[in-house]
Structure 1
Amino acid sequence: MISSENNPPAPEELNDKEPLRIILAEDDAEDQELFVDALEQTDVPSEVTIVENGQELLDNLRDETQPDPDMIFIDFNMPVKGGVQALEEIKADEGLRDIPAVMLSTWDHPSAVEDAFEKGADLYVQKPSSFSGFVLILKKVFLLHWAKGLLGPVRKLFFVSEKNISRGDS
């Protein structure tokens, strides 16, 4: 199988590949379960590590016995250390800054989105209100990742919500 940046692999072509290593930083058990279930529906081979706050995320990323993830999903609001604060520390760390970081939040307020991008988020995803919306959003995130779209994001494109996915916007 040959793929290029312009033609990212289809999920069914990924079964021969190494699983995508993902860390999900999310304190809500229902949101954790929703994420994992939606991820399974994308048919993307993956391994998910779940941490419940920003400090656990940083500890995991700095643990040299753990492999670096391919992508991290960070909830905006978490106890102990919030998502934006953890993101800021990750992007300030030379060994971690290149890991694509996707912020997850129920908020779509422009100041929250702007703050996440200022701290280094590669993508800001508004948590969907439906399971099918979550599956669609994850597929879009992975498509952007494989197309190297998470490098140097364009903010209009890189705020993803269920509304703009269902309308077919980029």
Structure 2
Amino acid sequence: MKLNREKVNIIFTDDDIDDCNMFADALNEVGINHKLDLFHDGKDLLAYLNKEETKVPDILFLDLNMPFTNGLDSLKQIRSNKKYRDLTIAIYSTSSSEKDQEETFIAGANVYIRKPNEFSTLKRVLKEVLEINWQYYSSNLNKDTFFLTI
């Protein structure tokens, strides 16, 4: 990730307000200069991303279980848009289902993160994910590196 530049542009999409607040607080404590856009469902996220003037963010964190358009359907629609072909997408979910991991891997997610229960663990995960050089990481993407173990 481009951590030395002015701001890292991050989108976080999750229908759980508490998870959104915890994510934003952890991100603030990680100390990375960032701009965070929050969405609470896939429908609003896709409407935003489909606007011509929307700039490609540096990373998108995407929950799987959301109303209207779920995370997997959102992921597939995002990846079908060539504008977002190189966007780093992190699935951020409570699900530990191998089926969910497999489907999101096939649909083009870069990493699968199981939502941590502890604030300190979330900070550590965010720091790790935001420090990955995704250009090189993604070129060697395989199932062994897809699931981020905490």
Compute the TM-score of the two structures, normalised by the length of structure 2.
0.92
Deviations 1:126-162 (A, max 9, x none): 0001000100111111122467324442222221143
Moved more, 139-148 or 93-102: 139-148
**Alignment partners' CA distance in 2, 1:128 and 1:77:** 16
- Structure with higher RCO (Cα < 8 A, 6+ apart): 2
The aligned counterpart of 1:19 is 7
CA offset at residue 56 of structure 1? 1.0
Structure 1 pair 109/38, CA: closer, same or farther in 2 (3 Å)?
same
The aligned counterpart of 1:59 is 47
Q: Give the structure with the higher percent helix.
A: 2
| Secondary structure at 1:156 match in 2 | helix
**Alignment partners' CA distance in 1, 2:140 and 2:86:** 11
The aligned counterpart of 1:5 is none
Residue identity matched to 1:88: K
List alignment gaps of at least 5 residues for structure 2.
none
Describe how 1:1-170 pairs up with structure 2 within 5 A: 14=4, 17-145=5-133, 148-162=136-150
Larger Rg: 1
Runs of 4+ in 1 over 3 A off after TM superposition: 145-148
| Secondary structure at 2:126 match in 1 | helix
Q: Identity over aligned residues, as a percent?
A: 29
List alignment gaps of at least 5 residues for structure 1.
1-7, 163-170
